[in-house]
Amino acid sequence: MSKIQIMDMNLANKIAAGEVVEKTMNVVKELVENSIDAGATTIKIELIDSGVKEIKVIDDGCGMDENDATLAFSRHATSKLKTLDDLFNINSLGFRGEALPSIASVSNIVLKTSNEKTGTMVVVNGGNIESVKSCDLKKGTTIIVKDLFYNTPVRLKYLKSLYTELANISDYVNKMALSYPNIKFVLVNNEKELLNTNGSGDLLKTIFDIYGVVVANKMMYIENMNNDYKISGYISYPELTKSNRGSITLLVNNRVVKNYEIVKAILEAYHTFIPKDRFPYIVLNIEVDPFLVDVNVHPTKMEVKFSKEDSLTSLIMETIDNKLNKKTLIPKAVYENVEDKYYEDDLKVNEDLFGTNSIDDEKEETLEKPKLEELTFDFSVNEEKEKYESEVNPRIKELTPIGIVHGTYIICENPDGMFIIDQHAAAERINYEKYYHALSTHSKNTIDVLIPYKIELPTNEYIILEKNFNILDNLGFKYEEFGNNTLIIRSHPTWLPKYAILEAIRKIIDIIIKEEDFNEDKFNEKVSITLACKMSIKAGDVITMPDITYLINELRHTKNPFTCPHGRPTIITYTKYDLEKLFKRAM
């Protein structure tokens, strides 16, 4: 007897369902994508118990006749691919013809559909068509999926909690609404409405419908293109961030996708504008010839690969960078805490259904207060720095210092209102840009030391440093080896902080030792951030009014005066109107 046999079609569909349908969100995704491909302008998703008991998707698309309605439950039956060439020019969301029969094999389905000429109802239980009969002629399709995984109890067992399943569905529907702002999306769970977009085609209005007024008011429109790609969408002001990547929505030809390299490019563009491990709100659509993108990487069709990926990431970084560097990014001191309004993954979930959700405030790192004689802000000015500053137009209007609060926060004013500056964050930004400019322009101005500095290292660290002596050479250090594992520094770059030269040299050497794969830009950045952080004035340091004036003017002439290198704000404002509202002068 032959060992190899043709697999039963129902068994094959159940195996396929394991790839296509892992959770209730997968069912919603496949059905909604079919509605979009059918040209629907309104799509309503009604759930019972997060879709575990029932998922109903109602659309006003083109509908089907009786033949198509029954054929749709056959495996690999699709209207979207005809030839092999079509696979390399995919314009629809679905195309494999596996989803519907796979879903039907692990649930009970009722399909009602009409193309306004005929109306058909198909009942499918466990993958078997039980009945086909006529129904009303209302244009569109309604599909009801009940008792998901009823005949595969092991898979049912591994469904997450009702909250998690609903959260996944909400996240997906939110992203589809952002992808198709011209379609009205309605999401209901246990008769509680969770989302209702207007379908007007205005992306910013859809952002408002999903995230609320605070987020919508803090979004900036971007648009750009090159020979291969066109990008458009909205990016958030740096003050508006989340603790997870769920706030980043990527679309390719209006398809919701995932791509690590694009997210990496976005975060690189926001670098030093937002803190580490924080993520901006992004809705970015990438228009590209389907031939240059492969969506057939994973059964969910959400992971994609791009041809000419470097061209795309460069376009994204350049566009976001240009936008951020043209905007005044001073956050207002009075604004609503967005994170208190939303659950993880940016889901607006009805409190009556799941209760409230508290988010712990981030603990701010305590800054160690140095001794006053170690005051670490470099007030010296050299010709090279003056030339650099003259090329930067101030992005903040002139400010008049009034005083300082708690030895940390400088109070200033101008006709627009009151401004508060964090003296440590401001000094960090100034020093960071000074160090980075010197490093990136390969400044070789050096100064000899009267008494050479001696650096001793453990054998393992010295071996690594010895292998990278060329980095010290490129920085302009003059040195010589002295005995075992010891270096004598005889001259150093002029841009090192005069009050902590030895400490700065040690930190640079530490960075060299820790660098596994040397990259000049990354190295310059690490050195600049490290020196700026460690060598700047701290919270609580006492500085004079002339020093405050100098600090403010230096900050105004930086390229990005709004955040420190770690992404924390350097300055916030109470506008004159804000103050008048607080004191009831304006109502």
Strands (E), 119-264: 119-125, 128-134, 140-146, 184-189, 192-196, 219-225, 229-236, 241-242, 248-252, 255-257
> What pTM does this model have?
0.69
Read off the pLDDT of each residue in 459-466 and give the average, rounded to a whole number: 86
**CA–CA gap between residue 298 and residue 117 (Å, rounded):** 37
Share of the chain above pLDDT 90, in %: 38
Residue 578: is its pLDDT beyond 90?
A: no
Per-chain mean pLDDT for the chain = 80
Which of 212, 288, 210 has the alpha carbon at shortest distance from 249?
Answer: 210
**Burial level of 79, CB count in 10 A (0-12/13-18/19+)?**
middle
Read off the pLDDT of each residue in 143-165 and give the average, rounded to a whole number: 77
**Burial level of 320, CB count in 10 A (0-12/13-18/19+)?**
buried
Residue 153 binned pLDDT confidence (cut-offs 50, 70, 90): low
Per-residue pLDDT tens over the stretch 559-577:
999 999 988 999 999 988 8
Residue 363: is its pLDDT beyond 70?
A: no
**CA–CA gap between residue 431 and residue 29 (Å, rounded):** 50
The residue assigned the tokens 């940016």 is 346
Read off the pLDDT of each residue in 289-298 and give the average, rounded to a whole number: 69
Read off the pLDDT of each residue in 188-200 and give the average, rounded to a whole number: 92
Residue 296 binned pLDDT confidence (cut-offs 50, 70, 90): low
Share of the chain above pLDDT 70, in %: 79
Could you tell me which residues come within 8 angstroms of residue 523 by beta carbon, excluding any fewer than 6 positions away? Answer: 471, 511, 512, 515
Positive or negative CA dihedral for 532, 534, 540, 541? negative
Q: Which of 104-113, 137-146, 455-464 has the lowest mean pLDDT?
A: 455-464
**CA–CA gap between residue 476 and residue 333 (Å, rounded):** 44
Residue 318 binned pLDDT confidence (cut-offs 50, 70, 90): very high
Three-state secondary-structure class, residue 279: strand
**CA–CA gap between residue 268 and residue 310 (Å, rounded):** 14
In degrees, to the nearest 5, what angle opens at C-alpha 193 toward C-alphas 93 and 140?
Answer: 45
What does the pLDDT read at residue 20?
54
First-last CA distance in the chain: 89
Q: Which of 156-170, 292-306, 465-479, 531-545 has the lowest mean pLDDT?
A: 292-306
Which domains can be identified in the chain, with CATH numbers?
A: 9-196 (3.30.565.10), 213-340 (3.30.230.10), 372-573 (3.30.1370.100)
What does the pLDDT read at residue 298?
46
Phi, psi of 415 (to 5 degrees): -60, -20
Q: Which of 348-362, 389-403, 515-529 has the lowest mean pLDDT?
A: 348-362
Residue 181: is its pLDDT beyond 80?
A: yes
Per-residue pLDDT tens over the stretch 399-428:
999 999 998 999 999 998 999 999 999 999
Could you tell me how far CA 73 lies from the centroid of its own chain?
Answer: 38
**Burial level of 446, CB count in 10 A (0-12/13-18/19+)?**
middle
β-bridge mates for residue 58, sequence order = 44, 142
